[in-house]
Each structure stands twice: as structure tokens, then as C-alpha cells.
Amino acid sequence: MMPFAAFGGVERSREEAFRLIKGAPDPYGKFLEVAREANAGRIGLAEPWNSLRMLILPTAEERKELARDRAYDRFRGDERMKRALFYAALALEEAFGVYRSALGEVAAGRKEAVRRVEAGEGPFRRAVYVADLGRLEQLAEGEEAFEKALRVLRERLNEYAVKYKLGDLLDVDEGKARRLAEAKAPELPEFGDANFGVRAYAALMAYREHALGRRSLYGTAARYWLEEGGSAWLLYYAPRTAYNKA
């Protein structure tokens, strides 16, 4: 039970829970099993698993709260939608884990890759900018980590779409995902019908842009929900709502 304990090192719990659920022959079935244990008060769930539990297998009190959300009326009765949300979150969690490991070095390296120094003597003294090749190499490695994470996400979404016959809910339109990642406020409502695959793919792209200082509305939402651990909400909500709640 310990991998799901929500006290102490939450990050470790999040990763251990991912390994246990993904490693099961039927990941969705395993998730439902631990969700029932959590509802019975026998274990605690780290994020994003608790958010998934709340959406997919809520308690009676949580159902009352969710009933205020008009979108939940359609979602709650659609087992296929619940399964697709779970597998989109599982794929995003795996990809985010790949990228997160390199993120700290990328963020620090971005600021230090080029530094300002004084050169010359007397009246000829001037400021010049010098590239730190070590830091630039570190940034390149970070870019490689992002490309790997994006590849993992695309492969997993394709795998789950085929294996569980969820193509219309998990297939990724990369052009649409890119537009969502870069969308301005008036454009966000245009993506209200984006499927879980597009939202997950856009989230990872937008998160990376946000980490590198190129901010977007969906990047703000992705940073909040992924770092807070509630990636299930990022995928469940329409993009405009995900941003507003973030």
C-alpha cells in the first residue's frame, strides 16, 4: 500500500504509483482497484491519481460537487470517456517524468548560457557577451530530453488508442495541438472540442515553452496542473476552463 501513501515524499509516491499502475497487465483495472481502496479510506493517493479517482470513481460527496459541472453530466455515464482520460493521463505522466528530470538544469542553464563581461582597457573598455559552451551543451541535452518526452507521449497515445479502441479520443492532430499550445485568449474557446490526445500533446509542448520563458495561456495552465499534480483536470477541462481555474 505504501506507494500510494499521500504523506511525506509526494513526488516519490507519484512515481512509484505510476510504475505500479503502468506495470499491471490491465492498468485501468489496477487503477480502479486502488481507487476503491482510497474511497474506503485504506490508502491515500498522490496526484495525479487522486484527481483521476475523483473524476472516474468519485465518492457520494464528490459526485454532488461534480454535479455542478455541466460537462460532467456527459462524462459520468460514458465509461469509454473515463478510460480514455485515464490513458491520456497515464501517457502524459510518463512523458512528463522523462522531461522533468532534465528541467531544472535547462532552466538554470538558460540564464547562464550567455553572460555579460567587460573587455578592453580605458576608453576602449566595453561590454561583450560570452557564450558558456558547457551551458549551451546542457541546454542542447535538455532539448533532446524534450524531444524524447514528446516521442514517448506520441507513441503511448498511439499504443493506447489502438489497443483499447480509443482512437477518436486519443489520436493526436499535431497541428491542432501546436495551435492550442500557442493560442491567445480569444482563440481558446475554439479548442473546446479537442480530444484528450490533442490536449495532452499540447500540454507538454506548452509546458516546455513556458519553462523556457515563452509564455502562453495553455502553458500557464499546463505548468500549474502538471506541477500541482492534477494533470487529470488539465485534460478533463476544456482549455479555457483549465486556464481560468489555474
111 & 207 share domain: yes
**What one-character DSSP code corresponds to residue 119?**
E
**Could you tell me if 129 and 212 lie in one domain?**
yes
| 92 shares its domain with 176 | yes
pLDDT tens by residue, 180-224: 999 999 999 999 999 999 999 999 999 998 887 888 999 999 999
Do residues 41 and 142 share a domain? no
**Do residues 182 and 205 share a domain?**
yes
Closest by CA to 215, choosing from 169, 189, 181, 167, is 181
Residues 158, 89: Cα–Cα separation, whole Å = 13
Residue 230 confidence class, pLDDT cut points 50, 70, 90: confident
Residues 125 and 115 in one domain: yes
Cell of 232: 487529470
Buried b (16+ CB within 10 A) or exposed e, 12-30: ebbbbbbeebeeeeebbee
pLDDT for 42 equals 87
Residues 33 and 103 in one domain: no
Total domains in the fold of the chain: 2
Phi, psi of 217 (to 5 degrees): -65, -45
What sign for the dihedral angle of Cα 132, 138, 140, 143? negative
> What pLDDT does 144 receive?
84
Q: Residue 120 has what pLDDT?
A: 60
pLDDT tens by residue, 91-123: 999 999 888 766 655 555 455 545 565 666 666
Listed residues 77, 99, 115: the one ending a domain: 77
Residues 130 and 147 in one domain: yes
Q: 19 is written with which cell numbers?
A: 510504475
Q: Please give the pLDDT value at position 136.
A: 43
For the record, the C-alpha cell of 202 comes out as 499540447
The residue among 58, 77, 96 that closes a domain is 77
Give the mean model confidence (pLDDT) for residues 21-41: 94
- Examine the domain organization and report whether 28 and 87 are in the same domain: no
Q: How big is the CA angle at 76 (ends 217 and 238), to the nearest 5 degrees?
A: 10
What pLDDT digit, counting tens, does each position of 133-163 carry? 444 444 445 578 889 999 999 999 999 999 9
- On whether both 70 and 98 belong to a single domain, the answer is no
Contact present, 171 and 195 (Cβ < 8 Å): yes
Q: Is the pLDDT of residue 84 over 50?
A: yes
The residue from 77, 97, 124 where one domain ends is 77
CA-wise closest residue to 111 among 132, 126, 128, 96: 132
Shared-domain flag, residues 169 and 203: yes
In which domain, by residue range, is 42 found? 1-77
- If asked whether residues 215 and 99 sit together in one domain, one would say yes
